[in-house]
């Protein structure tokens, strides 16, 4: 269906967000980028485009083939390799209207550029060696970051903190391999056969380090994607009020989910730097009829789907059968549960103890704490933050964001790499020769290279970048 695209093509796209804004940027990259700029852009000064030094911000007009003025703009030429893609790149900063931007974009097409694919600029930055794969992935994570902690993690990945760790592991493996290979090549230097104790220790140390990262992997994934959270409770317990409190305090980020037919939205709240991705918040808030509000059945399906359940009870009222049903439901929730005793501002007669007693009958529920709260006064938010932080950071001191994995793919690769090192240990323990140990070590070394992109198949690279948006 599509013509074959190559790295030789000059690509062009609108780099700014869709819609209207003060300024819009058209970005062109590739061997014809500069000549296209010369054809479509005329500086206001007496100088021609060619006379300007690279990376000058040149003020002028964008003109079509008939000399008609499309817009006034600023044009910046960045010559290879000093650009984002390491190719010649031109950025035209025009007015941010969608018609203006599309006109200029189609002008670039008519002069030989083609539409950039999703993520193609960043993919070129990767293929040209400017970023490794983990850094390239971090570009999207920086753009999509939901909280400051998510941003800090993404930035540290982008600046290479995470890649450096992985490269360090690979370097260590190579050193062990080199040592073993030396003893294969020069067996006469060997004193009474190789002593594998030292090798074993080094492999084990490495395996432990990698395993530690795997163990902490959920932190990064949560910081990046948000913790999928359901708020459940009987009608009038105060779910909407709590949600509004959480949404209101920190700015909520609402994103449209592309490709969905209905008005499905994802809503994020930021609690102490941890992004909670709230499930079907519209559903909870939009229903006026209280009876229609979240029934136990619906609550069940939300809760089943969530990594975190906030179970809201009205501390001002005796528990009723609906509360009892919710409590029973908690026993079946796969995710963590935080129990919220709401309306503390009213209650003299707190039924905290009753709830605690009942929860003892839910041995399978992963209850992380009970929070006395008031959606009205805001009381209880600090404790909620603390509990969340325990869930996400595992109660330890905060994981260095640079060490946190950022997605499930990276987590799986590290898990496999650690397991291959486990195989290496077995091979050593079985008393097998250096060659076999080297084979196992190489497998682990190659596996780790899939994170930085040094050992990765093209179609996986394509797949990763296809999740980017156009213009990035
Ligand atoms: P939902 O049905 O669970 O979503 O409950 P709502 O959030 O709609 O709250 C039901 C009623 O309880 C509303 O009149 C709220 O104003 C009130 N409410 C909710 N939380 C509190 C609270 O912490 N204190 C007090 N005094 N009233 C609350």
- Rounded to the nearest angstrom, the distance between the alpha carbon of 236 and the centre of ligand 1 is 6
Q: Three-state SS for 378?
A: coil
CA atoms within 13 A on the CB side of 203: 29
Question: For the residues 56-62, what does the mean pLDDT come to?
Answer: 97
Residue 103: CB atoms within 10 Å: 17
Q: Three-state SS for 371?
A: strand
Residue 6: CB atoms within 10 Å: 6
Structure tokens at 60: 């002028």
Ligand 1 atom closest to the CA of 343, numbered from 1? 23
Give the end-to-end CA distance of the chain in Å, rounded to a whole number: 23
Phi, psi of 270, deg, nearest 5: -105, 110
Q: Are 388 and 246 found together in one domain?
A: yes
Q: Are 286 and 423 found together in one domain?
A: no
Summarised one tens digit per residue, pLDDT across range 203-234 is 999 999 999 888 877 788 888 888 999 888 88
Q: Are 265 and 191 found together in one domain?
A: no
Structural domains counted in the chain: 3
21 part of a folded domain: yes
* Domain CATH for 71: 3.30.1360.120
Residue nearest to atom 16 of ligand 1 (CA): 241
Q: Report the chain's mean pLDDT, rounded to a whole number.
A: 84
- Rounded to the nearest angstrom, the distance between the alpha carbon of 204 and the centre of ligand 1 is 55
Summarised one tens digit per residue, pLDDT across range 310-361 is 999 988 888 888 888 888 889 988 999 999 999 999 865 656 778 888 888 8
463 part of a folded domain: no
Q: Three-state SS for 203?
A: helix
| Predicted confidence (pLDDT) at residue 16 exceeds the cutoff of 60 | yes
Cβ(423)–Cβ(429) below 8 Å: no
Percent of the chain with pLDDT over 70: 85
Q: Are 96 and 45 found together in one domain?
A: yes
Q: Are 64 and 119 found together in one domain?
A: yes
Phi, psi of 341, deg, nearest 5: -95, 100
pTM of this prediction? 0.76
Residue nearest to atom 25 of ligand 1 (CA): 343
Strands (DSSP E) found in 191-238: 227-233
Task: Check whether the bond before 282 is cis (ω within 30° of 0).
Answer: no
Q: Are 317 and 263 found together in one domain?
A: yes
Q: What is the pLDDT of residue 301?
A: 75
Residue 47: CB atoms within 10 Å: 12
| Predicted confidence (pLDDT) at residue 296 exceeds the cutoff of 50 | yes
Q: Three-state SS for 314?
A: strand
Q: Are 376 and 257 found together in one domain?
A: yes
CA 400, CA 155: separation in Å to the nearest integer?
12
* Domain CATH for 316: 3.40.50.300
Summarised one tens digit per residue, pLDDT across range 252-264 is 444 444 333 333 4
Q: Which residues pair with 72 in a beta bridge?
A: 61
Summarised one tens digit per residue, pLDDT across range 382-429 is 999 889 888 888 755 455 554 666 678 888 999 999 999 999 999 999
Q: Three-state SS for 298?
A: helix
| Predicted confidence (pLDDT) at residue 279 exceeds the cutoff of 50 | yes
| CA-CA-CA-CA dihedral for 273, 137, 403, 306, to nearest 10 | 50
Ligand 1 neighbourhood includes 273 CB (under 6 angstroms): no
- Rounded to the nearest angstrom, the distance between the alpha carbon of 237 and the centre of ligand 1 is 6
Q: What is the pLDDT of residue 395?
A: 56
Cβ(94)–Cβ(110) below 8 Å: no
189 part of a folded domain: yes
Domain limit, last residue, from 88, 109, 131: 131
Domain limit, last residue, from 102, 131, 160: 131
Ligand 1 neighbourhood includes 220 CB (under 6 angstroms): no
Summarize the chain as % helix, strand, coil (round to 5). Answer: 45, 20, 35
Cβ(98)–Cβ(19) below 8 Å: yes
| Predicted confidence (pLDDT) at residue 122 exceeds the cutoff of 60 | yes
Q: Please, which residues have CB within 8 angstroms of residue 93's CB and are 6 or more apart in sequence?
A: 23, 24, 25, 73, 74, 75, 76
- Rounded to the nearest angstrom, the distance between the alpha carbon of 356 and the centre of ligand 1 is 22
Residue nearest to atom 19 of ligand 1 (CA): 238
Question: For the residues 174-191, what does the mean pLDDT come to?
Answer: 76
Ligand 1 neighbourhood includes 234 CB (under 6 angstroms): no
Ligand 1 neighbourhood includes 293 CB (under 6 angstroms): yes
| Predicted confidence (pLDDT) at residue 375 exceeds the cutoff of 70 | yes
| Predicted confidence (pLDDT) at residue 249 exceeds the cutoff of 80 | no
How far out from the chain centre does Cα 315 lie?
38
Domain that holds residue 7: 2-131
The owner of tokens 């003020």 is: 59
Ligand 1 neighbourhood includes 380 CB (under 6 angstroms): no
Q: Are 185 and 256 found together in one domain?
A: no
Ligand 1 atom closest to the CA of 234, numbered from 1? 3
Ligand 1: residue of 310, 375, 381 to mutate (most ligand atoms within 8 A of CB) is 375
Ligand 1: residue of 236, 345, 347 to mutate (most ligand atoms within 8 A of CB) is 236
CA atoms within 13 A on the CB side of 318: 2
Residue 265: CB atoms within 10 Å: 14
Compare 269 and 115 and report the one with higher pLDDT: 115
- Rounded to the nearest angstrom, the distance between the alpha carbon of 374 and the centre of ligand 1 is 9
* Domain CATH for 180: 1.20.120.430
Q: Are 328 and 422 found together in one domain?
A: no
- Rounded to the nearest angstrom, the distance between the alpha carbon of 249 and the centre of ligand 1 is 17
Domain limit, last residue, from 111, 131, 151: 131
Ligand 1 atom closest to the CA of 284, numbered from 1? 4
């Amino acid at each position: 269906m599509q013509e074959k695209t190559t790295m030789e093509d000059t690509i062009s796209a609108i780099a700014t967000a869709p819609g209207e804004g003060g300024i819009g940027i058209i970005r062109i990259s590739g061997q014809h980028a500069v000549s296209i700029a010369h054809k479509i852009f005329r500086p206001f000064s007496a100088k021609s485009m060619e006379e300007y030094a690279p990376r000058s911000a040149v003020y002028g007009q964008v003109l079509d083939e008939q000399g008609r003025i499309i817009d006034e703009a600023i044009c910046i030429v960045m010559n290879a390799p000093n650009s984002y893609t390491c190719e010649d790149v031109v950025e035209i900063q025009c007015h941010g209207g969608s018609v203006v931007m599309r006109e200029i974009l189609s002008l670039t097409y008519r002069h030989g550029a083609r539409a950039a694919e999703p993520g193609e600029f960043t993919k070129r930055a990767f293929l040209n060696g400017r970023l490794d794969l983990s850094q390239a992935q971090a570009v999207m994570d920086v753009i999509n970051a939901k909280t400051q902690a998510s941003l800090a993690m993404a930035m540290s990945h982008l600046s290479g903190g995470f890649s450096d760790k992985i490269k360090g592991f690979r370097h260590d493996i190579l050193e062990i391999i080199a040592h073993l290979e030396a003893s294969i090549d020069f067996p006469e230097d060997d004193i009474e056969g190789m002593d594998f104790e030292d090798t074993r220790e080094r492999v084990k140390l490495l395996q432990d380090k990698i395993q530690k990262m795997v163990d902490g992997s959920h932190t990064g994934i949560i910081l990046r994607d948000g913790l999928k959270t359901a708020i459940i409770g009987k009608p009038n317990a105060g779910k909407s009020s709590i949600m509004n409190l959480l949404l209101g305090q920190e700015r909520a980020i609402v994103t449209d989910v592309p490709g969905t037919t209905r008005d499905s939205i994802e809503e994020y709240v930021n609690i102490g730097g941890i992004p909670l991705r709230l499930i079907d918040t519209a559903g909870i808030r939009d229903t006026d009829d209280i009876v229609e509000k979240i029934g136990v059945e619906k609550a069940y399906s939300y809760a089943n789907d969530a990594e975190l359940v906030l179970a809201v009870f009205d501390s001002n009222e005796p528990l009723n059968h609906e509360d009892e049903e919710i409590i029973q439901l908690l026993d079946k929730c796969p995710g963590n549960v935080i129990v919220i005793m709401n309306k503390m501002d009213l209650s003299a007669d707190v039924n905290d103890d009753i709830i605690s007693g009942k929860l003892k009958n839910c041995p399978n529920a992963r209850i992380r704490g009970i929070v006395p709260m008031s959606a009205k006064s805001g009381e209880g938010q600090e404790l909620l933050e603390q509990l969340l932080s325990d869930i996400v950071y595992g109660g330890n001191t905060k994981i260095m964001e640079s060490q946190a994995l950022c997605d499930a793919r990276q987590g799986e690769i590290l898990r496999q790499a650690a397991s291959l090192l486990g195989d290496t240990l077995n091979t050593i323990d079985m008393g097998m020769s250096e060659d076999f140990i080297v084979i196992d070590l190489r497998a682990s070394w190659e596996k780790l290279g899939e994170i930085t992109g040094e050992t990765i198949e093209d179609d996986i690279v394509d797949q990763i970048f296809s999740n980017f948006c156009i213009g990035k």
